[in-house]
Structure 1
């Protein structure tokens, strides 16, 4: 289990669950926090044998276009070393906003909660990069 880097006050924690990195947003992330998260996830994926990145948005009330783009870039960056990304816990308003913003989320699977998100990551059932996404 890993806590935020001491040099990043208020950073979004990235926890290691076996070979899965769990990113849990708590509250509304500001732009600098989202940018730092993108860098931290890329660093952790590159420096480990992570099979997947699980992004839990259950603590987020609203998403803007910047955060939507950051999520898309995290997913794209995780795919480079063959890790998959699953997005879970979206409130209806967050899901609607992401759809309306129209960011492309390649290789991203969505699920209702963390428990359901672990299944495709542990069993390799995520869509292949560039393939059709699941939405359970």
Structure 2
């Protein structure tokens, strides 16, 4: 299958750690890379037994409305594919920018770091049957 993006569009690694996918965003994420990441995560969640996605944004200094929307859409897609998403490592300036842009990222859980994100994903979801999502 060929990518709809040019060959010079770099991809962001998506690492599988057990049943959790870990994505670590570093530096500036161009629009094409963000869209490719969204597709990659959806494909990986659907094609695996992943029950969680951790998006580490500790390496991101600047976020715009497009990236904020892509992160929210990644979480929504993962949720529809029976996986929970946790956003971690957000810098104060990024949080302030998201609020100023009016992006509240509904339904997206945040933690301070990757370790806490994994701890959160290990906890059962209240009101869900064992083995359910």
- Please classify the TM superposition score into its range, dividing by the shorter chain length: 0.7 to 0.9
- Cα 1:127–1:105 shift into 2, 3 Å: farther
Which residue matches 1:12?
A: 12
Matches within 5 A, 1:1-80: 10-80=10-80
Deviation per CA, 1:22-65, whole angstroms, max 9, x where unpaired?
00012110111000000000100111111111000000001000
- 1:26–1:60 CA contact under 8 A, matched in 2: yes
- 1:79–1:107 CA contact under 8 A, matched in 2: no
SS of the aligned residue for 2:87 comes to strand
Cα offset for 1:110?
A: 0.4
- 1:27–1:59 CA contact under 8 A, matched in 2: yes
- 1-structure distance, mates of 2:127, 2:36: 27
- 2:68–2:105 CA contact under 8 A, matched in 1: no
RMSD after superposition: 2.0
Deviation per CA, 1:66-86, whole angstroms, max 9, x where unpaired?
000000000000001211000
- 1:34–1:70 CA contact under 8 A, matched in 2: yes
- Cα 1:29–1:19 shift into 2, 3 Å: same
Which residue matches 2:89?
A: 89
Cα offset for 1:105?
A: 2.2
Cα offset for 1:101?
A: 2.0
SS of the aligned residue for 1:102 comes to coil
Unaligned runs of 5+ in 1: 1-6, 129-136
| Runs of 4+ deviating beyond 6 Å | none
SS of the aligned residue for 1:15 comes to strand
